[in-house]
Chain A
Amino acid sequence: MKIILEASQAVAEAVKACNVEVVSIYPITPQTHIVETVADFIDNGEMNAEVIYAESEHSMFSAAAGASAAGARSFTASSSQGLALGFEILGMISGMRLPVVAAVANRALSSPINIWNDHSDTMSIKDAGWIQLYVESAQEAFDTTVQAFKIAEETLIPVMVCLDGFTLSHVTEPLELENVSSFVGKYKGKYILDPKKPLLMGPVATPASYMEIKEVQQKDMLDSKKVVKKIHEEYKKKYKRGYGDGLIEIYNLKGKKKALILMGSAVGTARVVSDEEKDFGVIKLKCFRPFPEEELKKICKDIEEIAVIDRSLSFGQDSAVYTEVKKCLPDKKISSFIGGLGGRDITKKTIKDAVKQIGKGGQIWLK
């Protein structure tokens, strides 16, 4: 049965459906609807979880880490400045291999203050050791959040579900909810704090072992692509709904020489323009970390020209998505476009402008 929800509420529904045990909360626009809805579920008895109201995002991520270390399935959510304040703990959660799931309602970073959508918050922490999955719709937000718990718990790598602020977080859409209790199962941590079996987590690692520990983390992160794909496939089989191979989704790409690569809700607009114009295909990057290098190479085999739209900046150099794509496809003609910063809409015209200027070179701003 289809119901109508915001993507924020869809994430909250997934958190409820996955029997999350601890939710740490600190409000920030545009994320607040997520934790607000979860808190409602707990208050009215629909969900049996502990809520920790933190005094900052730094404490909020710390509480999520502690809960996860103690063996609880743990969830939290943030945006923009909040995510930036929690930065220190993000690296600790991934370094301690705690399977926390966090939803991020993407929002521009200050200054100037801007509460609207772009990807500068999550792009600035792409190297923090979290798996990053970007969604396009409320339905995908629900499905991806469910899969995120399974992925995190199997790989011992935290997962960030990134949904565009307002464009998704505050927009109602029809979607299907699923009973996923048996799909995700009960969380049983492999390494947890238990007084009966003492364990030291996050100890000092001297120069003699730090590199080897990080080498393991890097290897596991690269290998996690397989797990992201596998769990997406299992979900697809069970609930008859999928998004490409779980890493990348393509649209109208067959037989095309031109492709547009982007992430998040703007993909929907690109699909419509692709249907109308028929001269380019769309490549949606769902998984940005780990980066699906091999998969992208395979998909782009016959593509000649590519336009990448980044919704974030790397001051002093090209933006993140373009840089990654260029690294994977050094021999292709690829153009870098900046668009949709600070909530500027990516309209059909924006997409057309990008496709029109494919191959122009330099960093082109779509205003």
Chain B
Amino acid sequence: MKKVKIAGIVDEPGSTVKNKTGGWRTKKPVRDVKKCIKCMKCWLFCPDICIDENIITDYDYCKGCGICAEVCPVKCIKMEDEEK
């Protein structure tokens, strides 16, 4: 049996770091680096702060909402099916 704490209590800090919520994703944003004009719109709009200043996506926490692909002015981000 997987080890869980009674009633799911959280009694130490850092649980959100350990809990890799990227696993919820069904679509994955993939950027075409050659087409990208580095306007930083995706970085600005990502609701989960999952795109850093070098436009690298943190797949541990990205939930695949697709906002980055939506706001990209040159459409260089494609939402690809997550393989599981």
The interface size of chain B toward A, counting residues with CB under 8 Å, comes to 16
B37 within 8 A of A: no
A209 cross-chain contacts in B, Cβ below 8 A: 2, 4, 8
Q: Does A213 contact B (CB under 8 A)?
A: yes
Q: Complex Cα distance A276/B9, Å?
A: 55
Whether the Cβ atoms of A97 and B11 lie closer than 8 Å is no
Instruction: Tell me, yes or no, whether A199 is within 8 Å of chain B by CB.
Output: yes
Q: Give every chain A residue within 8 A of B6 (Cβ-Cβ).
A: 97, 156, 191, 213, 216
Name which residue of chain A comes closest to B13, CB basis: A198
Interface of A is mostly: loop
Stretch at the interface among A200-208, A260-268, A302-310: A200-208
Q: Within the assembled complex, what's the spacing in Å between the Cα atoms of A319 and B3?
A: 37
Q: Which residues of A contact B24 (CB under 8 A)?
A: 206
B23 close to chain A: CB less than 8 A: yes
Report chain A residues within 8 Å CB of B3.
Answer: 212
In contact, B10 and A97 (Cβ under 8 angstroms): no
User: Are A216 and B4 closer than 8 Å at their CB atoms?
Assistant: yes
Considering only residues 212-227 of chain A, those with a C-beta below 8 Å from chain B are 212-213, 215-217
Any A CB within 8 A of the CB of B33: no
Q: A191 touching B11 by the CB < 8 A rule? A: yes
Question: Please, which residue of chain B has its CB at the minimum distance from the CB of A215?
Answer: B1
Q: Who on chain A is nearest to B11 by CB? A: A199
Given contacts A212-B1, A215-B1, contact A205 B8 (CB under 8 A): yes
The answer to whether A95 touches B7 (Cβ under 8 A) is yes
Q: Say yes or no: is A96 at the interface (Cβ < 8 Å to chain B).
A: yes
Complex partner residue of A97 from B4, B7, B23, CB under 8 angstroms: B7
Q: In the bound complex, how far is the Cα of B9 from the Cα of A199, in angstroms?
A: 7
Q: Inside 8 A of A198's CB, which chain B residues have their CB?
A: 11, 13
Q: Please indicate the chain B residues that have their CB under 8 angstroms from the CB of A203 in the complex.
A: 8-10
Asked if B7 and A213 sit within 8 Å, CB to CB, the answer is: yes
- A337-362: which residues lie under 8 A (CB-CB) from chain B? none
On chain B, the residues within 8 Å of A156 by CB distance are 6
**A212→B7 contact, CB < 8 A:** no
A165 CA / B7 CA spacing, docked (Å): 33
Q: How far is the CA of A217 from the CA of B6 in the complex (A)?
A: 8
13 further A-B pairs in the complex, CB-CB below 8 A; given A197-B11, A203-B10: A95-B7, A156-B6, A191-B6, A191-B7, A198-B11, A199-B9, A199-B11, A200-B9, A205-B8, A212-B2, A213-B7, A213-B8, A216-B4
- Residues of B near any A CB (own CB < 8 A): 1-4, 6-11, 13, 15, 19, 21, 23-24
Chain A contact residues, CB within 8 Å of chain B = 95-97, 156, 191, 197-203, 205-206, 208-210, 212-213, 215-217
Q: Which 5 A-B pairs have the closest CB atoms?
A: A200-B10, A97-B7, A212-B4, A205-B8, A213-B8
